[in-house]
Amino acid sequence: MNALAATNRNFRQAARILGLDSKLEKSLLIPFREIKVECTIPKDDGTLVSYIGFRVQHDNSRGPMKGGIRYHPEVVDLLLPSGFAGAKMNTHSYSEDVDPDEVNALAQLMTWKTAVADIPYGGAKGGIGCTPKELSISELERLTRVFTQKIHDLIGVNTDVPAPDMGTNAQTMAWILDEYSKFHGYSPAVVTGKPTDLGGSLGREAATGRGVVYATEALLAEHGKSIKGLTFAIQGFGNVGSWAARLFHEKGGKVVAVSDITGAVRNPNGIDIQALLQHKDKTGKLADFDGADAMDSNDLLSHECDVLVPCALGGVLNRENAGDVRAKFIIEAANHPTDPDADEILSKMGVVILPDIYANAGGVTVSYFEWVQNIQGFMWDEDKVNNELKRYMTKAFHNIKGMCQLQDCNLRMGAFTLGVNRVARATLLRGWEA
């Protein structure tokens, strides 16, 4: 089952629990708008090349739409624009990596995620089909500016607020801000995840990983436990995984296993995360770290631990390996790491799963704080950002638990039911059939 099918299945189950009208249910699934544009730029060697840019805007009933812009390869038909007769045009194609169903699923998931976190946004997702590592900085800037020119009337402070995603970063957001401002005046709140010199929020880099830790604390407290003394296995050591590992370690947790695309390491007595981060920065890999033993990356999900934290790819827990999981708790820091078959198997095993729709909402929550700061023209210190993030994550967990008790369901369905209910109520109050 792909990401879109899994998201739709969870939505429909939540809609049945809530007793939503069938017409309203269908309306909530259909994206508000899907945008596809051609972006043609001159490369550094003088050739012209076209890329396809896209944006899925899912829902705006609770506020502006919000979601990442990713630069990743996909198959595109490169169209020769009119007016370029005789120009030298690069017509190579790209490998299929961006799945339209995945983009739709992530846009929809952001709608429910922002509703669960109770921040006034809807969901969106988009990007450009390209391979960033094959483009120079100047080519990336030209591509970003052309894309912004094509969609500037469809995004905005009160319409759709993009953020970084795969293959994009704070610099990409700075280019979008600058190009958008040429048409609409200086508008720092049009994107989030910006450099702090241009209105980016302190604490944004660590926000998703920190949110994962706050969510874990809330879940463990419900079970009479705390991070201190528990063991953690973390799959993925990028931004989210490394920050989560660092903060679990600082709070007295023992990170006993870590993996990423370069390999995996383990230490039953706990890994010195700061030393591992320094080793990774120096060598670019986890392998050959003196403070832990090498292990097979495929064994991480079944490694003995109290808390398993998948921070990398979707679908890593499935029917084939779910029965091997030895953790008591799973914190879904990645999007869609557990497929429906694994969900059912793990639930029967008594494993408590904290769903992605809530667990990784720290990033978009601090993006909301950045948006608020930009609109007010008043920036917060980092302690205020972190304190507000903890308050939002803790409150959201208690709201999810309340829905679980009301509807007699697990945390995943409690979160989906909470999010769908908030969006449905906003849609009805605004008069969706008018």
- Within this chain, do residues 129 and 209 fall inside the same structural domain, yes or no? no
Residue 5 covered by a domain: no
Does 395 show up as a binding residue in the annotation? no
Structural domain range at position 78: 32-197
- Within this chain, do residues 187 and 208 fall inside the same structural domain, yes or no? no
List pLDDT tens digits, range 253-310: 999 999 998 999 999 999 999 999 999 999 999 989 999 999 999 999 999 999 999 9
Residue 16 covered by a domain: no
Query: What does the longest C-alpha to C-alpha distance in the chain come to?
Result: 72
- Within this chain, do residues 262 and 382 fall inside the same structural domain, yes or no? yes
Does 113 show up as a binding residue in the annotation? yes
- Within this chain, do residues 155 and 262 fall inside the same structural domain, yes or no? no
Comparing 133 with 82, which gets the higher pLDDT?
133
Residue 8 covered by a domain: no
For residue 124, is pLDDT > 80? Answer: yes
- Within this chain, do residues 423 and 369 fall inside the same structural domain, yes or no? yes
For residue 80, the domain's CATH number is: 3.40.50.10860
- Within this chain, do residues 179 and 249 fall inside the same structural domain, yes or no? no
Residue ending a domain, among 152, 173, 197, is 197
Total-model pTM: 0.91
Q: What's the chain's average pLDDT?
A: 91
Report the pLDDT value the prediction gives residue 434, as an integer from 0 to 100. Answer: 53
Report the pLDDT value the prediction gives residue 137, as an integer from 0 to 100. Answer: 97
Active site residue: 125, 194, 254, 390, which one? Answer: 125
Distance between CA atoms of 102 and 112, rounded to whole angstroms?
Answer: 15
- Within this chain, do residues 176 and 229 fall inside the same structural domain, yes or no? no
Structure tokens at 400: 């999810």
Distance, C-alpha 75 to centroid of its chain: 23
pLDDT interval class at 3 (50, 70, 90): confident
For residue 90, is pLDDT > 90? Answer: no
- Within this chain, do residues 265 and 134 fall inside the same structural domain, yes or no? no
Kindly state the average pLDDT of the residues 207-217: 97
Residue ending a domain, among 167, 197, 227, is 197
Q: Burial of 1 by CB count in 10 Å (0-12 exposed, 13-18 middle, 19+ buried)?
A: middle
pLDDT interval class at 92 (50, 70, 90): very low
Q: Are 274 and 246 in contact (CB under 8 A)?
A: yes
Q: Which residues pair with 49 in a beta bridge?
A: 41, 90
Structure tokens at 240: 């989210």
Residue 22 covered by a domain: no
Report the pLDDT value the prediction gives residue 119, as an integer from 0 to 100. Answer: 97
Structure tokens at 364: 């978009």
Distance between CA atoms of 28 and 59, rounded to whole angstroms?
Answer: 8
Q: What is the dihedral of CA 182, 196, 218, 64, to 10 degrees?
A: -10
Residue 26 covered by a domain: no
Question: Exposure pattern of 43-82 as b/e (b: 16+ CB <10 Å)?
Answer: beeeebbbbbbbbbbbbbbbbbbbbbbbbbbbebebeeee
125 is a catalytic site residue: yes
Does 367 show up as a binding residue in the annotation? yes
Does 297 show up as a binding residue in the annotation? no
Residue 284 covered by a domain: yes
Report the pLDDT value the prediction gives residue 200, as an integer from 0 to 100. Answer: 97
- Within this chain, do residues 49 and 181 fall inside the same structural domain, yes or no? yes
Kindly state the average pLDDT of the residues 158-186: 96
For residue 245, is pLDDT > 80? Answer: yes
- Within this chain, do residues 217 and 354 fall inside the same structural domain, yes or no? yes
For residue 233, the domain's CATH number is: 3.40.50.720
Residue 6 covered by a domain: no
Residue 20 covered by a domain: no
List pLDDT tens digits, range 372-398: 999 999 999 999 999 999 999 999 999
Does 390 show up as a binding residue in the annotation? no
Structurally, the chain folds into a number of domains equal to 2
Residue ending a domain, among 178, 197, 216, is 197
3-state secondary structure of 385: helix
- Within this chain, do residues 190 and 242 fall inside the same structural domain, yes or no? no
